[in-house]
Amino acid sequence: MSMESISLPVLSKNTLCVVVPLEAILFDSDGTLCDSDPIHYYAFREMLQEVGFNGGQPITEDFFIKNISGMHNDELCRVLFPNWEFDKAMKFMEDKEDMFRRLASEQLKPVNGLDKLCKWIEDRSLKRAAVTNAPRPNAELIISMLGLSSFFEQLVIGSECERAKPFPDPYLKALGALRVSPEHAFVFEDSVSGTKAGVAAGMPVVGVVSRNPEKLLTDAGATFAITDFQDSKLWEALEELERNQSG
């Protein structure tokens, strides 16, 4: 058979077809399921100013994005307070998380289109897990408030793994629990560290541009980026994936 007679499918730039057949979708929580970063930013800004961080000047949103967003608390202790005793730094982090949960319980809202995407996943009986660097109480609060406690089959916490994101361990743990190969799953992420973790675990990552700039996510390895779960780029990619699954 000549090459001219072979009809190859034309794939879009924003393709997810490498995961055919699709068996599972994995989600980060903070900033991906809900736009929680403004609440984290506010809590960090207020509490860091109280302890005299940055000479008592409030941190900027740009500083938060580049130095705080997506990291786990053990790492943040070393980044923000290199001269503090670890226990003192962790106490600050725990107090900050308490403040976040108080604010989140009043202000948390899902990312646009989340309900539509969850229904699409449920209708196709795909496996799903939430994989996050957030402390377990935060992740459980977010998932509960969004009405997703019964939606997620697994919840994997970065600090409960040998290594948290940006290492692949949390995503690999989720795949193992779901009994799915990385060749048949993809990830939704909003942070650089989470994107790197998903890519390192061998999966395509769809970046959710809730706060982090699109270029940061694509530079970290995201296949493409969306503004929210209503973005036409996402639904075109899912429709293309379904055509290839049935083809």
Which residue in 212, 220, 232 sits closest to 12, CA to CA? 232
Q: Does residue 62 carry a catalytic annotation?
A: no
Q: Cβ neighbours of residue 124 under 8 Å, at least 6 residues apart? A: 22
Which candidate in 28, 37, 190, 231 is catalytic? 28
> Is the distance from CB of 208 to CB of 188 less than 8 angstroms?
yes
Alpha carbon separation from 224 to 15, 190, 209 (Å, rounded): 8, 11, 10
Q: Cβ neighbours of residue 30 under 8 Å, at least 6 residues apart? A: 36, 37, 40, 70, 132, 133, 134, 138, 142, 190
Which candidate in 30, 169, 190, 231 is catalytic? 30
Q: Does residue 30 carry a catalytic annotation?
A: yes
Q: Name the amino acid, one letter, at 73.
A: N
Structure tokens at 189: 């992420």
- Annotated catalytic sites, by residue? 28, 30
